Amino acid sequence: MEGIKRREHAEIFVLGKRVDDVTAHPFLKPSVKSFKATFDAAFEEDTRGLARAYSPFVGEEVNRFVHIHQGPEDLVAKVKLLRKLSHKTGTCFQRCVGWDALNTLYVISGKIAEREGRKEYLNRFIEYLKYVQKNDLALAGAMTDVKGVRTLRPSEQPNRDAYVHVVEEKAGGIVVRGAKANITGVAVVDEVVVMPTRAMTERDAEYAVSFAIPLDTPGVKVVVGRQINDGRRLEGGEIDGLPYMFNHEGLLILEDVFVPWERVFLYKEWRWAAQFVEVFSNYHRQGYAGCKSGLGDVIIGTAHGLARQLGIADKPHVQEKLTEMVFLNEAIYSAGLAASWEARRLLKNGGWWVDPMYANVTKHLVARFPYEVAKLSHDIAGGLLGTAPSEADLKNPELRPLLEKYLQGVPEFTAEERLRMLRLLENTSLSVAYLVESVHGAGSPQAQRISIQRVYDFQRAEAIARRLAGLKAEASGDARAEPRRPAEAEK
Ligand code: SF4
């Protein structure tokens, strides 16, 4: 927290005003708390084992959020850690994008070294990685460009800056310009890792760049986005004022920012942009299994608690709904574990990556099931979820005895307990972290469908069917092989 307190250059804006200290600002404080949970996890008894890992790069234990996966067990530990952290925060804790960016850079710079014999990116990246690991830095990952006209490539845009690109090459580094949207946790990090957002052609070369900059770099501006109920953060209080943790996303604007060569990890490498995006997005799609199922647990638990407060927890239709919520939630988690256990190496000595089919299935489930879980929790909670009086009403001496009398269900629970659970349910089940982020984070649903279609081998599936149907084998299909095709990154 000390590290992000005062920044000379980074200009961070919230509701139109510049923020000097993000750790003290009421709008950002819940995000800082949530981000901080990723550091604390390495010291707390229940998460210590999961949140630490041995790094061969620095020869000591590091926080898992800056670790390069060394095998399937590490990818499994990632999903488990994320689920636990959702229990501690009740929101997105914002540090996984930077972590996935580190692993992607390791894979891509390693592949360039292995395939093309060019080691400069890998060497630069390893030096940067050691610095990040030794200092346990908080990183944001910035992939999504603002994109301008969606049907045009970066080099065809009427606004040349619609994608982040190189505007000047200098002896000591490059100058970049552009903006990245929806950047998770961006106002409360030490550094940002910028990545390309799509496949590129030769004409887009100046847009095929990846680099890391401290947030406190001249020319960097962050405009923090609004969220549902965000005005409540300014209220204070213990029930309505969002006293617990929250996340944020922001627009990252880079206005002619200088990046020294030692922090440039991809420079005009347009041939590698598509694989970069594929490797990164699959890592993040797998991660959603953990954080979203953990949020699901919070919502299921809140719905169960509210059902008890109303005296309906043992009613068959409520039991049925709770069971359905568990099924949907565990399906998400199971797919992420499958993606992790079926991990594969993309480099000769490591570069462990998730199973691309199961990672995409995970994220596709996440794009659908949380809305269903949320709806079922609202069904159980009752209409008061959307109409409950405020904390200020409860604190009014004239109203309090009346609210205590009329908002109570089963006598062993107080009206305040009910109000607290309702607010928690409102702030988790209707949050950006559980709903909008579930649809669009790590790629919108259509991106997963395209990946699933690419990786599934329909010819082989048909060959399996033809054999069973007693039909002659076709040259295009082998009935003995799995109906799977390699992802681009595996070729
Ligand atoms: Fe991590 Fe989940 Fe937030 Fe992504 S959405 S940064 S995986 S907590």
| DSSP class per residue in 289-322 | HHHHHHHHHHHHHHHHHHHHHHT-TTSHHHHHHH
Query: Alpha helices of 60-199 — where are they, by DSSP H?
Result: 72-89, 96-116, 120-135
Task: Catalytic residue, from 23, 106, 291, 426: name it.
Answer: 291
Q: What's the pLDDT score for residue 474?
A: 87
Q: Would you say the CB of residue 93 lies under 6 angstroms from ligand 1? A: yes
Tens digits of per-residue pLDDT, 34-63? 999 999 999 999 999 999 999 999 999 999
CA-closest residue to ligand 1 atom 1:
96
Q: Phi first, then psi: give them for residue 433, nearest 5 degrees.
A: -60, -35
Could you tell me which residues come within 8 angstroms of residue 5 by beta carbon, excluding any fewer than 6 positions away?
Answer: 21, 22, 23
Strand (E) positions, 129-248?
Answer: 139-142, 165-169, 173-184, 191-194, 209-214, 220-224
Query: Which residue in 106, 283, 288, 358 is the catalytic one?
Result: 288
Low-confidence residues of the chain, pLDDT below 70?
Answer: none
Q: Does ligand 1 come within 6 angstroms of the Cβ of 441?
A: yes
Say whether pTM exceeds 0.95: yes
Whole-number pLDDT of residue 203: 98
- What does the DSSP 8-state code read for residue 264? E
From the CA of 442, give the closest atom in ligand 1: 4
Told to judge if 207 belongs to the known catalytic residues of this protein, a careful annotator would answer no
pLDDT at position 241: 79
> Half-sphere exposure (CA, 13 Å, Cβ side) for 485?
14
Residue of the CA atom closest to atom 2 of ligand 1: 291
Rounded-to-integer distance, Cα 195 and Cα 273, Å: 9
Tell me which residue has its CA closest to atom 3 in ligand 1: 92
Angle of the 72-89 helix axis to the 273-310 helix axis, nearest 10: 40
pLDDT reported for residue 476: 74
pLDDT of residue 475: 78
What distance separates the 2 farthest-apart alpha carbons in the chain? 84
| pLDDT number for residue 228 | 86
Mutation probe of ligand 1 site: the residue of 79, 97, 102 with most atoms within 8 A of C-beta? 97
Q: What is the pLDDT of residue 248?
A: 96
Residue of 64, 92, 245, 438 best suited for mutating to test ligand 1, as the one with most atoms within 8 Å of CB: 92
In this prediction, residue 86 carries a pLDDT of 97
The strand pairing partners of 61, in sequence order, are: 54
Instruction: Give residues with Cβ within 8 angstroms of 113, minimum separation 6.
Output: 119, 121, 122
- Predicted confidence at residue 10, as pLDDT, reads 83
Residue of 337, 335, 326 whose CA lies nearest to 296: 326
Strand partners, 12: 19, 222
Distance 91 CA to ligand 1 centre (A): 9
Backbone φ, ψ for residue 471 (5° rounding): -95, 160
Phi/psi of residue 356, nearest 5 degrees: -65, -30
- The neighbour count for residue 230, using CB atoms within 10 Å, is 18
By the 10 Å C-beta count (0-12 exposed, 13-18 middle, 19+ buried), 480 is classed as exposed
Instruction: Please check whether residue 216 is in contact with residue 8, taking contact to mean a CB–CB distance below 8 angstroms.
Output: yes
Question: How, if at all, do strands 209-214 and 191-194 pair?
Answer: antiparallel
pLDDT at 183: 97
Residues ≥6 apart with Cβ < 8 Å to 129: 57, 66, 68, 102, 106
> Which of 413, 471, 340, 252 minimizes the C-alpha distance to 70?
340
Q: Is 291 in the pocket of ligand 1 (CB under 6 A)?
A: yes
284 is catalytic: yes
- Whether 288 is a known active-site residue: answer yes
